[in-house]
Structure 1
Amino acid sequence: MTQADDLQSEDFGFGTQIRKSPYFDATLRWGAKGFSVYNHMYIPRDFGDPEQNFWNLVNEAILCDVGVERQVEITGPDAAKFAQMLTSRDLSKMAVGQCKYILITNADGGLLNDPILLRLAENHFWISLADSDILLWAQGVAVHSGFDVTIGEPDVSPLQLQGPKSGEVMKALFGDDIMELKYYWLREVELDGIPLIVSRTGWSSELGYELYLRDGSRGDDLWEKIMAAGASFGLQPGHTSSIRRIEGGMLSYHADADSSTNPYELGMDRLVNLDMEADFIGKAALRRIQEEGVSRKQVGLIIEGEPLKGPNSSYWRIEKDGVVIGKVTSAIHSPRLEKNIALAMVASEYGNLGTRVKVVNRSGIVNEVGTENATIVERPFYDPKKSIAAA
């Protein structure tokens, strides 16, 4: 364990109005230097050099505190029916022990969240959230739904163990049979009496696992046990990598999508099943949007010029022949690709691959240049078939 900085909670001026994860103190001991707020909780965003964090992720493994991915728990006789009402994805063949990436839409077809759904038992589900108040949404929907369900937030806090060496670390922790766990499936386990759900999922586009701690009092123990098991495999403490997630074309809710964005604009048609018998919130609106088509769509961009010094902190407008046609939502320099890559939303008629556009960055000033040339390209930018994560 490294304690070079010996930082304490009070050094950051943390208050009590924002919650801390069970791993909070451990992340400070292991070098967390900066935090942001996600789902009303602190999340580590800085362990030093973000480029080194990226290389640690893609070459060895990193352990990330993602306790901010809060769970909405659905139980009761009608749990499966209620879960289906919340999402446009067909859950009729979802087995116990399976996970699915789902979309939660409002009555207008707008995206409220793009979480992972876990089915722990026949009538027991967790929705593992991106950043939004879906607990309140689900509780409100349940009130007059007519379904016999209980909606709550359990004592569950996930960690992400991600990277090519993550499987070796998992074997050191749980034995060889953990390798039988398939992509997007889960297993209930214990580690020295610590109750866990382990899944083959993660927000990195790399081989990885999520460990859902079911007893918040054991957070420190769990963190230290994982770091000790991973020491010989090069495991490092880290944070979710903006570089890798943009390379992988993964959404960041609020940045790349919000309640005014629909699945068809994002190219997520496969997650909308309008033919299933079951109804879901937003079904009628999404049918209308499908029939009418969309006026904008998400694209990938390669932005020319000097390497970006970090991610964009505001939306950058995109122009074609002097006309504003959209905005950059997430941008970063990829040291592996040696390119500035971005996710963007543009007017549909300008969204063809190879289209040349202008990006006006940071209110017109990036690297002392007012505009940069850019080209619309396919996304994801790296490993488009997700073969690494699914290996």
Structure 2
Amino acid sequence: MYGIGRSPRLRPSPYFEATIRAGVEAFTTYNHMLLPMRYTSTEDEYESLIHGVTIWDVAAQRQVEIEGPDAAALTQYLCTRDVSRIKPGQARYTFMCNYQGGVINDPVLLKLAEDHFWLSLADRDILLWVQAVAAERGFDAKVREPDVAPLQVQGPLSGDLIGDVFGSTVRDQKYYHFVELEHEGVPLVVSRTGWSGEFGYEVFLRDSSKGEWLWELLFAAGAKYGVKPAAPNQIRRIEGGILSCGTDTDDSVTPLELGFDRLVQFESESDFIGRAALAAQKSRGVERRLTGFRFGGEPLRVNSLYLDVSRNGERVGRVTSIIYSPRFEANIGFAMVGAEHAEPGTELEIHLHTGTVAAIAEAIPFVDAIKSS
């Protein structure tokens, strides 16, 4: 049994006490906060997620707010997507890269107004990066962390819960859109986004003093749907081809190597950090690529270390994520391998701690749910 010592260095979530009452059993650190990792088991929470509705404390998914006359220009310089195509009330999954084209974050970008954006972050210290870029390049924009704490409401019954609380307009919004509103005088943003691979929403609380209120509001409304507290689910995110930044990526891995060429929008005339390096890589072709894989045998838990991948006895890459999928009754995962070994159907060897197993490369995602309305 291990514990995590709490201190002022780990900022508490507005939902922390509620998660304790709900029976959370494990945390990890994420963006200098505690992120719940398990209430019952990954498998039980997976079943609740794919058949019902779950609520996750993801306050550790911290925001960077960019606002001011040059907010759009700065946001464009930071992101590989064409920001000019995004309208207020829309969100986009995007990459942020270093000058060598390596991924430093893969946030969801929300456009609140023409001069007002949020970057909803994965686990990296991006606030300091954005502040430094803004200052160094002379962008006239305020860069700060707003008082925002999201909960995710995920699963096929999430629309029923959200509709009961916030009404049909919020419930029926399109995928990767969001609505700003007040509920009982509390400011919120509710978006049709999530990290589950299932139909779902994120509820961004804009007043962290109201964490207990929001938690109780959603759980009371969800009782008739059998709502369960849960953590970000590793089984479903791997099935759905969802990346874990810092696990499946690092600052040497590019979006092109991850297979996300479509999210690097070279057709836009606007510059972005890493564009030149990525254009050069696109021209010469990638030398490695992320692939899925599958194999049978004893069910495995999510890996805590990278595992070697070989082909015909020669090392060709490493496993970044692996877990057992009850849906497929097989172990599945992602591996970064030489591009010539990434084609679906390629025979690979995965070096587990218990020995070497034969696996077959497979396209990502393994399965996708209907997430659009």
TM-score by length of 1: 0.93
1:1-391 residue pairs with structure 2 within 5 A?
A: 13-308=5-300, 310-362=301-353, 365=354, 370-383=355-368, 387-391=369-373
- Alignment check: 8 A CA contact 1:303 1:359 kept: no
- For residues 326-363 of structure 1, give each alpha carbon's deviation from its aligned partner in whole angstroms, at most 9, with x where no partner exists: 1110000011111100011001111121111111013x
Q: Say how many residue pairs are matched.
A: 371
Q: Quick one: distance in 1 between partners of 2:172 and 2:196?
A: 21
Q: Deviations over 1:139-198 (max 9, x none)?
A: 010112122101000000100000001000011101223233111001011222221000
Distance in 1 between residues matched to 2:83 and 2:114, nearest whole Å: 12
CA distance in 2, matches of 1:306, 1:376: 19
Post-superposition CA distance 1:57-91 (Å, at most 9, x none): 00001000000010000000110111000011111
CA positional deviation for 1:50: 1.2
Q: Paired residue for 1:6?
A: none
Distance in 2, Cα, partners of 1:25 & 1:114: 29
Letter in 2 for 1:148: D
Q: Are the equivalent residues in 2 in contact too, given 1:355–1:376 (CA < 8 A)? A: yes
Q: Is the 8 A contact 1:303 1:342 kept in 2?
A: no
Aligned-partner Cα distance in 2 for 1:323–1:304: 22
Deviations, residues 222-262 of structure 1 (Å, cap 9, x unaligned): 00110000000111111110000000010001110010000
Distance 2:13 2:68 in 1: 28
CA spacing shift, 1:163–1:215, aligned 2, 3 Å? same
Whole-angstrom distance in 1 between the partners of 2:13 and 2:253:
30
Ranges of 4+ aligned residues in structure 1 off by more than 3 Å? none
Cα distance between partner residues in 2 of 1:190 and 1:250: 31
**Once the 2 structures are TM-superposed, how far is the Cα of residue 100 of structure 1 from its aligned partner?**
0.5
- Give 1:93 deviation, angstroms: 1.5
* Kept in 1: contact 2:295–2:358 (CA 8 A): yes
Q: Which amino acid in structure 1 is aligned with residue 179 of structure 2?
A: R
Which secondary structure state, in structure 1, belongs to the residue aligned with residue 85 of structure 2?
coil
Contact preservation (8 Å) 2:80, 2:272: yes
Aligned-residue offset at 1:378: 1.0
CA distance in structure 2 between the aligned counterparts of 1:209 and 1:28, rounded to whole angstroms: 23
Query: Aligned partner of 1:388: which letter?
Result: I
Q: For residue 324 of structure 1, what is the amino acid of its counterpart?
A: R
* Counterpart code for 1:216: S
- SS for the counterpart of 1:167 is helix
Distance of 1:191 and 1:28 partners within structure 2: 25
CA contact (8 A) 2:296 2:331 kept: yes
How big is each residue's C-alpha offset from its partner over 1:93-120, in whole Å with a ceiling of 9 and x where there is no partner? 1101100011101100000111000011
Provide the C-alpha distance between the structure 1 equivalents of 2:96 and 2:170, rounded to a whole number of angstroms. 31
Q: Which amino acid aligns with 1:390?
A: S
How many Å separate the matches in 2 of 1:372 and 1:140?
A: 46
Q: C-alpha separation between the residues in 2 aligned to 1:105 and 1:303?
A: 33
Structure 1 residue runs without a partner (length 5+): 1-10
User: Which whole-Å CA distance do the structure 2 matches of 1:349 and 1:144 have between them?
Assistant: 40
Tell me the secondary structure at the aligned position of residue 189 of structure 1: strand
In 1: Cα distance, 2:171 partner to 2:9 partner = 40
Deviation at 1:17, TM superposition (A): 1.5
Q: Normalising by structure 2, report the TM-score.
A: 0.98
Counterpart contact for 2:91–2:108, Cα < 8 Å: yes
Q: Return the alpha-carbon distance in structure 2 between the equivalents of residues 14 and 146 of structure 1.
A: 38
d(CA) in 1 for partners of 2:20 and 2:172?
34
CA RMSD of aligned residues (A): 1.1
SS of residue matched to 1:217: helix
- 1:258-306 deviations in Å (ceiling 9; x for gaps): 1000011011000111231111111111111111111110000002321
Q: Per-residue deviation at 1:53? A: 0.2
Q: Distance in 2 between matches of 1:13 and 1:82?
A: 38
Of residues 153-162 and 139-148 in structure 1, the stretch that sits farther from structure 2 once superposed is 139-148
